[in-house]
Amino acid sequence: MPAPKQTTSRARRDKGTRGGRPEPAPAAQARRGAAQPARPPGPARAGTATASAAAPATRIAPLWLQLTTWALSFLGLGVSIYLTITHYDTAVTLVCSDKGLVNCGLVTSSPESMVFGIFPVAVLGLAFYVFLVAATSPWAWRSKYPQVAMARLVSIIVGIGFVLYLVYAELFTLDHICLWCTSVHVITFLLFVLILVSAAVGYGFRDPDRA
Mean pLDDT of 95-104: 86
* pLDDT at 89 (0 to 100): 86
* pLDDT at 76 (0 to 100): 97
* pLDDT at 139 (0 to 100): 96
Mean pLDDT of 99-115: 88
pLDDT reading at 3 higher than 80: no
pLDDT exceeding 70 applies to what percent of the chain?
Answer: 72
Mean pLDDT of 174-198: 96
* pLDDT at 210 (0 to 100): 56
Mean pLDDT of 153-177: 95
- Which residue, 120, 121, 151, is CA-closest to 136? 151
Q: Is 202 left (phi over 0), alpha (psi -120 to 50) or beta?
A: left
Task: Give exposure, 93-120, as e/b (b: 16+ Cβ within 10 Å).
Answer: ebebeeeeeebbbbbbebebbbeeeeeb
* pLDDT at 49 (0 to 100): 43
* Domains defined for the chain, CATH in brackets: 2-54 (no CATH), 63-201 (1.20.1440.130)
pLDDT reading at 125 higher than 60: yes
* pLDDT at 66 (0 to 100): 97
- Which residue, 54, 69, 55, 80, is CA-closest to 149? 69
pLDDT classification of 98: cutoffs 50, 70, 90 = confident
* pLDDT at 27 (0 to 100): 52
